[in-house]
């Protein structure tokens, strides 16, 4: 049996993109800080990270496709926060954003990490942006590193 598993080693010259919505900025700023810290802590130089700000989560898949299609980034980390409101708008944005991000990854072969929080309450987002449930931006960045490494190893 052959076991393939990625680790957190950074390939030489690898660039990473962090896409972040401005909607719910207090949360997304914390997610971006966590992602940047995680990449830096694992040896990614600051000048190898591009941060792109977008209006909201809805726009993330389009920007992810543009960057992934250009071929200059080893992975794209998408960060945002969608909080349930009184209408179905939440479901449309959160579900279609996730579907779009997965489509970009599958269509381009570039890892696109979904760090978009889809939460019931703003307090739930705070818990996942550096609070009691950790920082999902940090976790998405670590998953990006691992996927880049794993994809280099797969036949």
Tell me if 59 is assigned to a ligand binding site. Answer: yes
Tell me if 7 is assigned to a ligand binding site. Answer: no
**Whether 89 is catalytic:** yes
Sign, Cα dihedral of 12, 130, 32, 107:
positive
> Which is catalytic among the residues 73, 89, 92, 133?
89
The span from the CA of 29 to the CA of 40, in Å, is 16
Please report which helix (H) or strand (E) contains residue 105, including its range: helix 89-108
Tell me if 87 is assigned to a ligand binding site. Answer: yes
Tell me if 46 is assigned to a ligand binding site. Answer: no
Tell me if 86 is assigned to a ligand binding site. Answer: yes
The span from the CA of 138 to the CA of 37, in Å, is 7
Count CB-CB contacts under 10 A for residue 67: 21
Tell me if 83 is assigned to a ligand binding site. Answer: yes
What residues are designated binding site for (2S)-2-hydroxy-3-oxobutyl phosphate? 86-87, 128
**Residue positions annotated with a catalytic role:** 89
Binding site residue list for 5-amino-6-(D-ribitylamino)uracil: 23, 57-59, 81-83, 114
Give binding residues as ranges. 23, 57-59, 81-83, 86-87, 114, 128
């Amino acid at each position: 049996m052959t076991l393939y598993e990625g680790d957190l080693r950074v390939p030489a010259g690898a660039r990473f993109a962090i896409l972040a919505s401005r909607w719910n900025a207090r949360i997304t700023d914390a997610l971006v800080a966590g992602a940047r810290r995680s990449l830096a802590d694992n040896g990614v130089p600051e000048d190898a990270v591009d941060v792109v700000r977008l209006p909201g989560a809805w726009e993330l898949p389009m920007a992810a496709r543009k960057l992934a299609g250009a071929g200059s980034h080893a992975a794209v980390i998408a960060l945002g926060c969608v909080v349930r409101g009184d209408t179905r708008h939440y479901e449309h944005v959160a579900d279609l954003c996730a579907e779009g991000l997965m489509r970009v990854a599958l269509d381009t072969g570039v890892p696109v990490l979904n760090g978009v929080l889809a939460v019931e309450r703003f307090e739930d987002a705070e818990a996942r942006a550096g609070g009691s449930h950790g920082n999902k931006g940090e976790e998405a960045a670590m998953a990006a590193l691992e996927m880049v490494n794993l994809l280099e190893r797969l036949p």
